Amino acid sequence: MSPIQPIFSLFAALSSYAASPNSAQSSSSTAVEIDIPPAANALTISPSLVSLSIEQDRWTDWSGIMSGNQFFYNVMENLNNLTGSPPGIRIGANSEDRTNFNEAVQYAQDIFPEPNPTTPYPEATNITVGDSYYTTAKYLLPDTEVIWGVNFGQNNLTAAILEAKSIMQAFCGSEISSLGISLKYLEIGNEPDLYMNNGLRPKNYNVGQYVTEWTNFANAIFEDITLNETSTRFLAGSFAGSSSNLEGFSPQAIYKLGISDSPAGEYIAAFSEHHYQGTFCSGSAGVLADLMDKANIRGNLSQYVPDIQATNDQGFDYILGETNSYSCHGAPGVSNTAGAAIWALDYVLYAATLGTKQVYFHDGIGFKYNLVQPVTLTRSILDGSPLSSPLPPHVQPQYYAGIVAAEAIGRHGNTQISELDIDNAQVSGYVFYDDHDEKRLVLINHTPYFKADETAGTQRPVVNVQISFPKKCGTRNIVVKMLEIQHSDDTSGLTWGGQSYETSDGLIQGSVSASTVVSNEYLGIPASQAALVTFDCS
């Protein structure tokens, strides 16, 4: 019997994709050998690495008003159960700079433009909120850490102070604080490096002016809300990109210009960068194979290594405070597909290996790239056309990336991550250590496999991975779970270890399917799928 036959016999669900026992080097199958490195260069990974950024205009749809949104609560609880820490929640984005406060408003009053085929669910052009709007944070999971943004774009200091006071009042109230829910960061403005392009500042607006204005706002807020009596800190930047030099908008520039030198600046604890893989703002098409591509993911993130280093040198955390596939709510047939789950899984784990503390995947009601659609939708997320029947709350494929990453991180509390050195353009992998002991691997096959490939009779490629476990592991049994995806362009039907989250309540359904193998066997990973390998060498 060849070394790859036992592993395939254990994965009945993959039998139609597997290479025959004697064809490990055939055209449909390649072999990869992997060594597991020691934890010497591993970085600590946050249990809340996978977090959510939520468009502020329809926040109460996510939270609930008179009672909590049970579906959203459930899907966040799924992640919490795996890591022991709830996802961070950031509430802000474009509508952050369109929000004003009026104590006469109970929750929120929004003005929306008409939907169109490119933007089926547009953001509000104006939002007015009152105190109760912020108190809906009480419906989040206990111990959730929140980032909340105030209006900086309209350059109205009074509005920003009123919002900040109401936010702090809500989070200091017993309904929220008794649950351990906390305001981790106040964010002053969204993507100020784009203000000169969107009419919020003059065309010659520069980073020096930003630092001066931010400092004025932060100091005024700091004096008004007694920030020094809470655990809340300021979040700096929230830039749409970075020049990574001292001339343009970058963390290096704002540190050099002394953004942390003021009384409020001393309470900065993190820098936020925003990043998307491409844009759909004008309706330009996205290419799923490009999104999934291993080299593209690395190129997109490694450009920020100087920013991460400069931020860490200041003693601050670096976060991707808003990110996803294609900006302007995602590209149809790309951002909402199973292939985007492959992208998101590799993207979030690779970001962690570079020193990113948290990755906030941006979501909004009806956005194409959502991990979660938390309310019933009545028009298509792809082109805005009316749906023949309402679409109830549901998870989208990228949610599975969060689940796999969360299970890989685990509940230990002191977990580290390193990228595996894999000499294959279509395969990436990561090793997870608990207290520096090797415990788990995630392996990802980036190769696309589309519905059209199956229709054409194209055999699904399989990568056969042989793992060289540390000698102390011996040949003891190893457990493997698969993220199973039928086609890269599917929009549903994914399973994780045989189980589904595509349920009416967002809770997991089905029996676990996990296989045990011995250390000298090959693991077959079909195109556009991923595996979690768990072992115990202690």
Tens of pLDDT along the chain (538 residues) come to 333 223 322 333 333 333 332 233 334 678 899 999 989 899 999 999 999 999 999 999 999 999 999 999 999 999 999 999 999 999 999 999 999 999 999 999 999 999 999 999 999 999 999 999 999 999 999 999 999 999 999 999 999 999 999 999 999 999 999 999 999 999 999 999 999 999 999 999 999 999 999 999 999 999 888 876 789 999 999 999 999 889 899 999 999 999 999 999 999 999 999 999 887 776 566 689 999 999 999 999 999 999 999 999 999 999 999 999 998 888 999 999 999 999 999 999 999 999 999 999 999 999 999 999 999 999 999 999 999 999 999 999 999 999 999 999 999 999 999 999 999 999 999 999 999 999 999 999 999 999 999 999 999 999 999 998 877 776 567 899 999 999 999 999 999 999 999 999 999 999 998 888 776 678 899 999 999 999 876 6
pLDDT of residue 97: 97
Alpha-carbon distance of 317 to 306, in angstroms, equals 14
For residue 360, give the nearest of 129, 90, 155, 176 by alpha carbon: 90
DSSP annotation string for 109-122: EEE-PPP-SS-SSP
The three-state secondary structure class of 213 is helix
pLDDT of residue 470: 78
Return the sign of the alpha-carbon dihedral for residues 334, 338, 343, 347. positive
pLDDT of residue 468: 87
Chain centre distance of CA 214: 27
For residue 19, give the nearest of 464, 515, 466, 427 by alpha carbon: 464
Angle between helices 294-302 and 338-353 (to 10 degrees): 40
Q: Which residues contact 497 (CB under 8 A, 6 or more apart)?
A: 481, 482, 512, 513, 514, 532
The dihedral over CA atoms of 387, 391, 397, 402, expressed in degrees to the nearest 10, equals 140
The three-state secondary structure class of 63 is helix
CB 495 within 8 A of CB 62: no
Q: Which helix (H) or strand (E) holds 347?
A: helix 338-353
Query: The pTM is what?
Result: 0.94
Alpha-carbon distance of 366 to 373, in angstroms, equals 7
pLDDT of residue 261: 96
pLDDT of residue 51: 98
Domains and CATH numbers, the chain: 5-35+415-534 (2.60.40.1180), 47-409 (3.20.20.80)
Cα separation values, 58 from 55, 112, 377, 473, Å: 7, 11, 13, 51
pLDDT of residue 168: 96
pLDDT of residue 316: 98
DSSP annotation string for 266-295: GGEEEEEEEEEEEE-TT-----HHHHH-HH
Q: Which residues contact 150 (CB under 8 A, 6 or more apart)?
A: 96, 99, 159, 160, 163, 164, 167, 186, 187, 188, 189, 221
Question: How many other CB atoms sit within 10 Å of the CB of residue 39?
Answer: 18
